[in-house]
Structure 1
Amino acid sequence: MRVAFAGTPEFARVALERLHAAGFTIPLVLTQPDRPAGRGMKLQASPVKQFAMAHRMAVAQPRSLRLDGKFPDEAAAAKEAIAAAQADVMVVAAYGLILPQWVLDAPRLGCLNIHASLLPRWRGAAPIHRAIEAGDEETGVTIMQMDAGLDTGDMLLVERIRIANNDTTATLHDKLAALGARLIVEALELAACGGLQPVKQPNAGVTYAHKIDKAEAAIDWSHGAIAIERRIRAFDAFPGASSVLAGETIKLWQAQAVAQQTPTGASGHVIAVAGDSFDVQCGQGVLRVTQVQRPGGKRLAVADFLRGFDLKPGMAFEQPAAAQP
């Protein structure tokens, strides 16, 4: 089977590597254009491109696939490359471009998407973040037959996993990337013998995982400690939940919600400092913080942070402007 591939970040690279190892012929890889990254802001190839080039796969990086869009020449060149690839199927994983109908129709078996949620829950751009933020107990991967809608196609394979109490987006990403890579190989093996059985997505339970906005990183201390803890885990590794303390923007990386009978201070106030943690009053409950990061520094256990920061009970984290009365 000839498998074209479209993807960009590490989640997609894991799938491409698994497809390559399984022996599928991969005549074409589509990925996003190189982007500036790092302190020097030098152009950097996506993880998918790096793997493809290392294994001498043909790569195309159009800025758009719309023939009537802003970059029609790039779209037309991509169309020629896709036609020349003569792929039986295209696998899509976190590509980052909307596929127009002509792309969906190009391969004999259409386009199969590796989606990191249990559809129809968390359609959209950030399903891993939003599942943790919402407190979901489980998630998984859906292999989906793509159509013109936003993650609305028929489900082909689904596998569930539990979300651990200490899972972050980073740890859950790695679990789901490995799961998705395994499932797409199974799906293609079934497709080769006509064994896939499409299932329509239910109409009930549809939610949208909107793209993460950096403005969401600011912690609103009027929220409950459980909700804040979830957001800290959801925003690890990007963009990192943060709050301003004594004029510094402090990122909070590890914390645990602690039950409380009666509030002992205003929301955002530090109410206790121990050797390896400090407690912050929330709108409901207390957040016990154990790992933080100062501007320009690295992640530190609170014990190390306290050696260079004179934190005392009564000091207060600032509320984000949008949350202030």
Structure 2
Amino acid sequence: MRLIFAGTPEFAAQALAAIVAAGHEVALVLTQPDRPAGRGMSLQHSAVKQVALAHGLALFQPPSLKDGAAQARLAAVDADAMVVAAYGLILPQAVLDLPRFGCLNIHASLLPRWRGAAPIQRALLAGDDESGVCIMQMEAGLDTGPVLLREALAIATDETAATLHDKLAALGARLIADALDRLPMPAAAQPAKGVTYAHKIDKAEAIIDWSHPAAKLDRHIRAFNPFPGAQARFAGQPVKLWRAVAVTGSGEPGTILTVDRQQIVVACGDGALAVSELQKAGGKRLPVQQFLAGHPLQVGQRFETASEAV
């Protein structure tokens, strides 16, 4: 297959590496323009760009695909198919129509559940038992196209967005290589029932509301690990919570019930949350024992509620 590949983060980079390893000709790689990152705010290559450079692939980083010059560059490739994975730019109909077999998207959910930008986090927040990957024929609608391949996997009880991302990235890389080997292949229309939307994550969503049940806050912390990090406030200062489990316990929401070397147990609206890894602003992620050495917390003290934190 002569291909165009469009993607930006690590999820997409694994797929690109798998496609190259499968022996396909990747004639052009599209990725988002380099952007400043890190403390020095220097321009950083995307994960996909790093893979493309390592394999000597032609790169194209347009800010948009809506202008005629960008579309002419893609048309000149005369691609059999275009593979898209977490690219971050909208593909106009003119681009969708260019390749002989169209554009294939690697989507990290079991469509039609969790169409949209943040399917991994939304699945965890909702307490889904399973997730998966769909290889979808792209069309103008948001993740509405027919599905060529799908495969499910179970979500572990301690799954975080980071661990689920890695599992789905590996699964997506395997499925897209399989799909390309089998083109042309039939695609099944998505069912009309069961549609949900995985809206983009807003950092404000990461603020912990201690009035919620402990089981919900457990999912909250795992869904926002590693980005943007579930955030509580203590004594007016932000504290990120990275690891916790729901346990039995009761008290005024936000109140510290017990403290030991392994965990800090905090009362919730229903049950309690045993926190085992924390991070103060400007500090490092620390297990409880190390965190308490610099930031002693005591039974009876309270994390601020959502209303107090505003």
Q: TM-score range by the shorter chain?
A: over 0.9
User: Which of 121, 124, 129 is equivalent to 2:121?
Assistant: 129
Residue 119 of structure 1, CA deviation: 0.2
SS at match of 2:26: coil
Unaligned runs of 5+ in 2: none
Asked if 1:314 is matched to 2:303, the reply is: no
* d(CA) in 1 for partners of 2:61, 2:295: 47
When the two structures are superposed, what TM-score results if normalisation uses the length of structure 1?
0.93
Residue 56 of structure 1, CA deviation: 1.5
Matched-pair contact (CA < 8 Å) for 1:122–1:131: yes
Asked if 1:62 is matched to 2:62, the reply is: yes
* Structure 2 counterparts to residues 1-325 of structure 1, below 5 A: 1-66=1-66, 75-191=67-183, 194=184, 196-260=185-249, 263=250, 265-321=251-307
Change (3 A) 1:77 1:58: farther
Q: Which amino acid aligns with 1:252?
A: L
* d(CA) in 2 for partners of 1:130, 1:103: 29
Matched-pair contact (CA < 8 Å) for 1:122–1:209: yes
* d(CA) in 2 for partners of 1:34, 1:323: 35
Query: Among the aligned pairs, what percent are the same residue?
Result: 61
Matched-pair contact (CA < 8 Å) for 2:107–2:134: yes
Residue 246 of structure 1, CA deviation: 1.8
* d(CA) in 1 for partners of 2:73, 2:19: 20
SS at match of 1:91: strand
Matched-pair contact (CA < 8 Å) for 1:28–1:81: no
Unaligned runs of 5+ in 1: 67-74
Runs of 4+ in 1 over 3 A off after TM superposition: 321-324
Deviations 1:230-267 (A, max 9, x none): 0100000000001111232110000000134xx3x211
Residue 323 of structure 1, CA deviation: 8.4
Matched-pair contact (CA < 8 Å) for 2:103–2:138: yes
Matched residue, 1:70:
none
Residue range with higher mean Cα deviation, 111-120 or 294-303: 294-303
Q: Which amino acid aligns with 1:189?
A: D
Matched-pair contact (CA < 8 Å) for 1:257–1:286: yes
SS at match of 1:28: strand
* d(CA) in 2 for partners of 1:233, 1:77: 43
Deviations 1:241-298 (A, max 9, x none): 01111232110000000134xx3x2111111112210110100110000011111111
Matched residue, 1:72:
none
Residue 33 of structure 1, CA deviation: 0.7
Residue 77 of structure 1, CA deviation: 2.6
Residue 312 of structure 1, CA deviation: 0.3
Residue 53 of structure 1, CA deviation: 1.7
Residue 322 of structure 1, CA deviation: 8.6
Residue 63 of structure 1, CA deviation: 1.0
Q: Which amino acid aligns with 2:255?
A: H
* d(CA) in 2 for partners of 1:55, 1:76: 28
Matched-pair contact (CA < 8 Å) for 2:233–2:309: no
Q: Which amino acid aligns with 1:212?
A: I
Change (3 A) 1:134 1:30: same
* d(CA) in 2 for partners of 1:322, 1:109: 55
Deviations 1:179-210 (A, max 9, x none): 0000001001110xx3x221010011100001
SS at match of 2:25: coil
SS at match of 2:159: coil
